[in-house]
Amino acid sequence: MRAQRPTATPDTHVRVRGAREHNLKDVDLDIPRDALVVFSGVSGSGKSSLAFGTIYAEAQRRYLESVAPYARRLIDQAGVPDVDSIEGLPPAVALQQQRGTPSVRSSVGSVTTLSSLVRMLYSRAGTYPAKQPMLYAEDFSPNTAQGACTHCHGLGHVFEVTEASMVPDPSLSIRGKAIAAWPPAWHGQNLRDILVTLGYDVDVPWRDLPKKDRDWILFTDEQPVAPVYPGFTPKETRAALRRKEEPAYMGTFMGARKYVLHTFATTQSATMKKRVARYMVGSVCPVCEGKRLKREALSVTFAGLDIAELTALSLDRMAETLQPAVDGRSRKLSDDKRLAAQRLAQDLVERIGTLQALGLGYLAMDRATPTLSPGELQRLRLATQLRSHLFGVIYVLDEPTAGLHPADSEALHHALDQLRAAGNSIFVVEHDLEMMRRADWLVDVGPDAGQHGGRVLYSGPPAGLREVTQSRTARYLFDRETQAPRTRRKPTQWLALEHVSRNNLHALDARFPLGAFTAVTGVSGSGKSSLVSQALVDLVCAHLGTAPEADEQESDVPTVVVQTSGRIASGADAIRRLVNVDQKPIGRTPRSNLATYTGLFDHVRKLFAATKAAKARHYDAGRFSFNVAKGRCETCEGEGFVMVELLFLPSVFTPCPTCHGARYNAKTLEIQWQGKNIADVLGMTVEEALAFFADEAALQRPLHLLHAIGLGYLRLGQPATELSGGEAQRIKLATELQRSHRGDTLYVLDEPTTGLHPADVDRLMVQLHELVDAGNTVIVVEHEMRVVADADWVIDVGPGAGDAGGKIVAAGTPEQVARTKGSRTSSYLRKTMD
């Protein structure tokens, strides 16, 4: 190792000795404190294992130990980082990008704690109607019983069922399962048989039944009890009734609406709840008009707005609205109210200022966190930290530039500078070259991924990395790797959208070249995702007659669909298929993983079932699934770990005491294929599996694609919950690539370079260009200027964020856009292309 200070004194450096977490190769490292330190290296090289898995984990462990000594044993089980010693380690705060979905009820206001201030403002300094007593701050929260609208319980929406939602295909008969909302299996047949007894025709198409009958079947609250003759035809049933034949049983009928609403309200089963939620449609609550609060709370105003109206403004507009109160100019208020207003408004405006400085002024306080990108969420948390006035802390961040246009990154750099100036250390895992150039100290990990990485190639001021020939980073940081100018593809046909409205897009016209690679750029919040991932995807799906991929597992609350308006003017006929490769998790439980998602595990299980030993014991492929009872470990039911509840602390997962994480029972593990059992295979990285299954053609293709796309370091059994959004996206892409391409497919990707080292970006680009060469269309939302410069066509959305954006500022080849005045992208693009 070079540039290491052997004489470091304890307080100026964090000194790591013998770090071996994951792939780290007994790493020794001295990192200066009170500095901006960037950890660089290709994906899977070990950056996170060092910054998060070792340094942050150890700081966290020491903290837990100091607050809860009794929990020691459990903390140990939960994982002590594999490191000999770390000296000079201050407390650490991690600002990691969220994996999985945050709670539906949290919002920009709650994450930033602005909500509680605003409630206080309305409680203490709001204008009340005559004779209405003052309310407490909690009365302004829709999440409390005191505050919530009593009609919608604070949801803002009421959920109802309609004929269309419960009977999606009216050409079917009741026997043909027209009433999709009915319970499945026996229960559904029972309802049908009762209808037969009651004299309804269950064999004509639903739409041919009289309206009166359709309404009764769906919406009645009556619950008649009728004799049931299962297995009888309607004719036989009528005869049996006439004969007063003894029925098999007496059945109780229930209207479909009653069934759906009752099940939704009372079921304990998450699956049932999700099933019925599909038939419910949300509409704005008529009582609170979607504002979620009880009437008394909504009658209190500030600056002429009720609290829901104020928090629906963008933070920029909200700060403007509060400014008169800060200046003591709120005329209508009594003296003591004016003082309270001034103090609270001042605090709010300052906090909003921090968010604005991070380029988040276009967000509104009432925006639900699940609709934010992980990068936006991380910056919200960062802003909250900026105001916490902590010092002497290490902040560990994970790709804070994700989702940021280069113009937005300025604000981020400034925020990090501020944290450091306050006496903190900033450790950042990052791929952004600009962030590396600005760092005080660079730790380059590598040279490659997994077992070919895990060494510190360099630790010192950025300039010194130039000499390190082994480093993949050095090439991009210093040589400014010039791309061979590609011949741009000439689009033959265009997909033209007209009058698109969605979020901040208003009656926008846009056209995308077909058979080409298009990059859509613009500052954060300008409307790129609204245009591409939402409007374009919705309109093309509607044209193809496919539903946009529903977030089936996302929540058990019926979703309120935001509508895109607009139409496709031309070009749609040239698209036969749409694939939206997004960053949503590939599964929400540790039961889905890389191997199950890509389908390659099916083949692996067949290999095991085909071994002599397995055949002798009559083990089929199902035996080798950790989701099936016969083969899996019974203690953990195939999860590999068990959850331990800690008093006052978040619960921790610890490896299963029976199978020690193997997930299978001992009998299953006795079966080997080429000397490895099924758990060993799940523990292999993609790269190891490539070598191990060298003769298995069916496995080579998916494994090879995963490797080509930079995922060679992932383990086959890596649970979906451990994957980052970018990794999930690349797994989806690899799964897609392994299908045979017919061409005429439209691929949409939102920021596919997230989490990728420039060297990995190059590999990804090769794959995407191959798709286009095969006759497909690729449209990416992207900030990485090297990718934009490599596109056939660029569409720059903006010029600003939120209301200040939503227009197309420039469209053309990269050369043309680089020369467009008024585009905030052009100067950065020019720099990359020179």
3-state secondary structure (DSSP) of residue 290? coil
Alpha-carbon distance 477 to 196, whole Å?
76
Alpha-carbon distance 812 to 178, whole Å?
50
Q: Does 627 bind Zn ion (CB under 5 A)?
A: no
Q: Does 361 bind ligand ADP (CB under 6 A)?
A: no
Least CB distance to ligand ADP at residue 670 (A) = 25
Exactly one of 31, 43, 631, 734 binds ligand ADP (CB under 6 A); which one? 43
Tokens of 278: 């599909």
Q: Before 324, cis peptide (omega within 30)?
A: no
- Please say which residue, 217 or 714, places its beta carbon nearer to ligand ADP: 714
Per-residue contact flags (x/-) with ligand ADP for residues 410 to 449, judged by CB under 6 A? -------------------x-------------------x
How many residues sit in the footprint of ligand ADP (CB under 6 A)?
32
Question: DSSP letter string over 172-226?
Answer: SBTTTT--TTSPSHHHHHHHHHHHHHTT--SSSBGGGS-HHHHHHHHH-----EE
Least CB distance to ligand ADP at residue 129 (A) = 31
Least CB distance to ligand ADP at residue 521 (A) = 9
Q: Does 636 bind Zn ion (CB under 5 A)?
A: yes
- The binder of 659, among Zn ion, ligand ADP, none, by C-beta within 5 to 8 A per type, is Zn ion
Alpha-carbon distance 328 to 324, whole Å?
6
Exactly one of 528, 605, 730, 786 binds ligand ADP (CB under 6 A); which one? 528
Per-residue contact flags (x/-) with Zn ion for residues 152 to 181, judged by CB under 5 A? x-----------------------------
- The binder of 45, among ligand ADP, Zn ion, none, by C-beta within 5 to 8 A per type, is ligand ADP
Distant-in-sequence, close-in-space partners of 642: CB < 8 Å, separation ≥ 6 = 635, 636, 653, 654, 656, 657
Which one, of 785, 800, 795, lies nearest residue 833 by Cα?
Answer: 785
Q: Does 524 bind ligand ADP (CB under 6 A)?
A: yes
- Please say which residue, 57 or 344, places its beta carbon nearer to ligand ADP: 57
Question: DSSP letter string over 777-815?
Answer: EEEEE---HHHHHTSSEEEEEESSSGGG--EEEEEE-HH
Q: Does 527 bind ligand ADP (CB under 6 A)?
A: yes
Structural contact between residues 263 and 272, judged by C-beta atoms closer than 8 angstroms: yes
Exactly one of 633, 682, 737, 765 binds Zn ion (CB under 5 A); which one? 633
Exactly one of 5, 25, 72, 151 binds Zn ion (CB under 5 A); which one? 151
**Side-chain-facing half-sphere of 67: CA atoms under 13 Å:** 11
Exactly one of 13, 31, 38, 41 binds ligand ADP (CB under 6 A); which one? 41
Cα dihedral 463, 467, 472, 474 sign:
positive
Exactly one of 173, 658, 672, 700 binds Zn ion (CB under 5 A); which one? 658
- Please say which residue, 263 or 526, places its beta carbon nearer to ligand ADP: 526
Exactly one of 330, 378, 504, 825 binds ligand ADP (CB under 6 A); which one? 504
Structural contact between residues 109 and 121, judged by C-beta atoms closer than 8 angstroms: no
Strands (E), 236-303: 249-252, 280-284, 301-302
Per-residue contact flags (x/-) with Zn ion for residues 247 to 286, judged by CB under 5 A? --------------------------------------x-
Chain centroid to Cα 363, Å, comes to: 18
- Please say which residue, 299 or 820, places its beta carbon nearer to Zn ion: 299
Q: Does 51 bind Zn ion (CB under 5 A)?
A: no
- The residue range among 432-440, 487-495, 561-569, 628-636 that interacts with Zn ion, by the rule CB under 5 A, is 628-636
Other residues' Cβ atoms within 10 Å of the Cβ of residue 10: 11
User: Rounded to 5 degrees, what are φ and ψ at 660?
Assistant: 55, 40
Q: Does 754 bind ligand ADP (CB under 6 A)?
A: no
Alpha helices in 564-677 (DSSP H): 594-598, 600-609, 612-616, 666-669
Least CB distance to Zn ion at residue 662 (A) = 7
> Strand 13-19 and strand 27-32: pairing?
antiparallel
Q: Does 542 bind Zn ion (CB under 5 A)?
A: no
- The binder of 724, among Zn ion, ligand ADP, none, by C-beta within 5 to 8 A per type, is none
Exactly one of 97, 141, 190, 526 binds ligand ADP (CB under 6 A); which one? 526
Site for ligand ADP in 46-65 (CB under 6 A): 46-49
- The residue range among 274-282, 528-536, 613-621, 666-674 that interacts with ligand ADP, by the rule CB under 6 A, is 528-536
557: left (phi over 0), alpha (psi -120 to 50) or beta: beta
- The residue range among 112-120, 242-250, 669-677, 712-720 that interacts with ligand ADP, by the rule CB under 6 A, is 712-720
Q: Does 237 bind ligand ADP (CB under 6 A)?
A: no
- The binder of 635, among Zn ion, ligand ADP, none, by C-beta within 5 to 8 A per type, is Zn ion
Least CB distance to ligand ADP at residue 516 (A) = 21
Structural contact between residues 759 and 471, judged by C-beta atoms closer than 8 angstroms: no
- The residue range among 602-610, 623-631, 709-717, 735-743 that interacts with ligand ADP, by the rule CB under 6 A, is 709-717
Least CB distance to Zn ion at residue 658 (A) = 5
Q: Does 724 bind ligand ADP (CB under 6 A)?
A: no
> Strand 793-798 and strand 517-521: pairing?
parallel
- Please say which residue, 408 or 790, places its beta carbon nearer to ligand ADP: 408
Exactly one of 13, 14, 16, 23 binds ligand ADP (CB under 6 A); which one? 23
Structural contact between residues 818 and 826, judged by C-beta atoms closer than 8 angstroms: yes
Q: Does 97 bind ligand ADP (CB under 6 A)?
A: no
Exactly one of 56, 362, 512, 641 binds ligand ADP (CB under 6 A); which one? 362
Distant-in-sequence, close-in-space partners of 673: CB < 8 Å, separation ≥ 6 = 607, 608, 611, 681
- Please say which residue, 416 or 508, places its beta carbon nearer to ligand ADP: 508
Other residues' Cβ atoms within 10 Å of the Cβ of residue 258: 17
Nearest 5°: the CA angle 786, 791, 795 is: 100
Beta bridge partners of 396: 94, 427
Chain centroid to Cα 416, Å, comes to: 25
- The residue range among 147-155, 160-168, 400-408, 596-604 that interacts with Zn ion, by the rule CB under 5 A, is 147-155
Site for Zn ion in 708-747 (CB under 5 A): none
Q: Does 529 bind ligand ADP (CB under 6 A)?
A: yes
Cα dihedral 775, 779, 784, 789 sign:
positive
Beta bridge partners of 85: 17
Percentage helix, strand, coil for the chain under 3-state DSSP, each rounded to 5:
40, 20, 40
Per-residue contact flags (x/-) with Zn ion for residues 586 to 615, judged by CB under 5 A? ------------------------------
Q: Does 525 bind ligand ADP (CB under 6 A)?
A: yes
Structural contact between residues 664 and 678, judged by C-beta atoms closer than 8 angstroms: yes
Residues near ligand ADP, by CB under 6 A: 22-23, 41, 43-49, 362-363, 367, 371, 429, 449-450, 503-504, 522, 524-530, 713-715, 722, 802
Residues near Zn ion, by CB under 5 A: 149, 151-152, 285, 287-288, 633, 635-636, 656, 658-659
